[in-house]
Structure 1
Amino acid sequence: MKRYGLWLLSAGLILSACSNDKEKTAADSPIKEEQKKEEKQDVILINTDAINLEVSEESLLSLPPGTLMEDLTYEKDIEAIEVIPETDPELLREMTPKLEELTKEAKDTESIKKGLLSLLASPHYKDIIEKSNAYQPDFEEPYLPDPTKSEPGEEEKKAAEQAIILLDASSSMLLQADGKVKMDIAKSAVKSFAQTIGQSSDVSLVVYGHKGSEADADKEISCSGVEEVYPMGKYSKKEFHVAVDSFESKGWTPLAGAIQKAAEMSSGYDGSTTIYIVSDGAETCDGDPVEASKNLVKNNSSNTVNIIGFDVDGKAEDQLKAVAEAGKGEYFKADSPDDLKDTIQYEWLPSAGDLAWAFTMAPSPWEMMDEYEIGEVYPRQLFTAGRREAHRMLDAVTIMGDKGWITDEQRSELREWGYERSGQMKDLYMKLYEKNRTTAETESDEIRQRVDVWVEKMKALKKERGDIW
């Protein structure tokens, strides 16, 4: 009997424990479900404390990309808007359940605004603003030669009727000088130089070393690659720049072949021709540039060959000096970008006509218009991305309102905020654009001032020498 009683007592205790466990589990279920629900809701607003609703450079630079915007490319975000941006239907479907979660989680309208940005903010604001702030106008540096830098006692010379610029584009010009590619430095200097000599001489540009490669297999094609890329004629800034930018450094150095090309060209010209060679090395195509230079001036005693040795070694310099001497010209040594700029100098005073047209060396109204357009590119992209974002959020407000997830008052306030944000984006676009315009105008004014100072200095020198022309 005792054993039976103990068995009943044990069974009762076991049943009681099981019953208590079930009741405890049942009681705990709503709590766990609520916790899971809260954890799920926290996904949207968890990082919104860092979101600033203000529209400014600072706020947009730090604004996290919308979590639903990962597939939005830069190109699509800045694509021109014809009338009203249309939100991708797939994005509308994807955002709908997120918007329901947001409205359940958000405690007020401000939280909804931040939640919308956390979902739909453009991922490209930082990139666009940084590009806009990096804007620098690309005005050509005016070439303002200073005859007072000539050595004392040098005979004043008259400008040649034709000028041929021979530019070395061999592979060695891909090396750097003072942290910049030598070819880029030389191209910039030649552009400025041609603008100045083009005021009083017809100009031609011949390039060599730009064919093939420095490999032995390409030696023949490279050494025969001497090309007139700007035909002899009146200087045209736009066309000359296109010619200078039409080739790259690649191969060997057919210096003799280039001089022979200049000799052939000059044989058909009336009057004198001055050859200007910009090179960083000696002949590598088995030619004889010294002999070629002698032959060039033999055909016309008024022709000359001037050479600028840019960052050359001793052996190359010896050859280039000999070429200049044989061509009855001069050799200039340029070891740095500044040297190159300074050594490409006129050895005669500019004419009265040159000075009268010197104002063209400052940016023209057309160049300013071009720069204004360039300076507007990224600010306008910002405005476009902002408009797209605003309309995504307006579509989101429509969904939440139609579903009854927000009140009519909230719907009205959020729509007004969307339009207001788009307007603020336009204001920021104008601010960034005006900043870039001011940058362009400041640099243009500085260039114009330098040109004006140079003109007055040249006029004073001409008056001092009794040169009225």
Structure 2
Amino acid sequence: MKMSKGVLALFFSIVLIAGCQSSGDSAADTSKQKGKGEDFVIEKPASAIGEAKLPTTSPEEYIQQDKGDLYQKYIEGKEFSEDKAAYEQATKEAIDAYINEVSKKKTKKWDEIKWAESITSALRASYKDVAEEIENYEVVYEELRLPDGRLLQDISMDEVTQESNKKVNVVLVIDSSGSMKAQVGGEAKMALAKKSIEDLAKELPENVKVSLIAFGHEGTGSDEDKQKSCSAVETMYPLKPYEAGEFAASLKNFNAMGWTPLASSIALANEQLAKEKDENTENFIYVVSDGIETCDGDPVAAAKKAVEDNTNVKINIIGFDVDSEADKQLKLVAEAGGGEYSSVKTKQQLAEIKDVWKEAVSINTWRWWAIHRFADNVWTTLDHQNAVNALKSKYFTLFKNEDERIRAARERLEEEGLIDPMLQNTITQVLNDRNDKIQTFMGDLSTKKKDEITAVSDELSDKLDAIEKQVGL
């Protein structure tokens, strides 16, 4: 068979290179001739001409790989430490340990894929956890949770745009009998009750009318003052939209003084709400009291009459630091009024029940609540984007450190004579292929999550715009 000098020179060059890399393998083992005469092809290991064989490992498989054994032994726990020197020392020790281990192995026949697997199985990080964190990150707009507990993002646009002309009235009734002077946690019950009532009033939606009734705020607890005190049931703030200054001033017009005309206070609340009676109105009576009726009235009967006289009325009662007798009676009053009874002993519990009351004002007020939440949408979107960026930054730190660590290991392998420059080049190609797959996967994952955030935010903006138009602002 006749060959040109150029072809022969190329042939022997390839054989020599292949021989160096296979450490003694014969040329016949690393090459194969095909064809006749001067027409032939030599099949060579890819590494022989500097072009790597690339593994078929998928991006998902790379992401799911566990941490390298030497990474776990030396580096894990130090990578995100503020002590950079400790991390650098741990990295050096891990690479030294790898070089020491691999130098004892028979590596002369290893190709680039085998070397890449050896290096990464020792020194790689794991992206499994951070990938799951990004994928499972919940795009929830808690700041846009409605008073009834639902998230605005879960409300359909059909419900947002459906017509609602419900009106809501809230009558706040506060026990001002002498026992409210007693202290709970170092503060007078009267002061705590006023604070809770004021906080509730100011947090109600703008379209809600509110009224304030005090009872037992005149006279004393003596028998001589019983009639005077039992007659002291007074509207301190008339039923109308909340005005902060006027409402705050009304709370200063009474203090804890005398007896407990609970039934009469419910009757006065009923009288106010009867004037607002129609099928499109919801009425609430909220009572804070620390004791039983002491003015010979029947609060259970008064609650039943309120239900009979008004449309959609609910009487909710807080028993504030009450004894068992009062607890029993107040619970019966709430049941008769179609509402709920809550017994509280502390300032914290009182605040928590106030929040429950606020949410119970009903689904029909949520549009007014929502119209002031445009900024919440903007800031929460930014918070979500920053959270995903933080996870992406965590991934990038892992990736950057791993890349530097593995590059340093490759260079050490060449310095120690365990691989030659051409083999290092093909190993690098295999590792770069791995890096590209990991970067693409993680980039797509974070982009998908950010797109989800944008989609939810845009949908919320559309809903808020629709609500604003619906309420006529």
TM-score range (shorter-chain normalised) is 0.3 to 0.5
The alignment's TM-score, normalised by the length of structure 2, stands at 0.46
The alignment's TM-score, normalised by the length of structure 1, stands at 0.46
Larger Rg: 1 or 2? 2
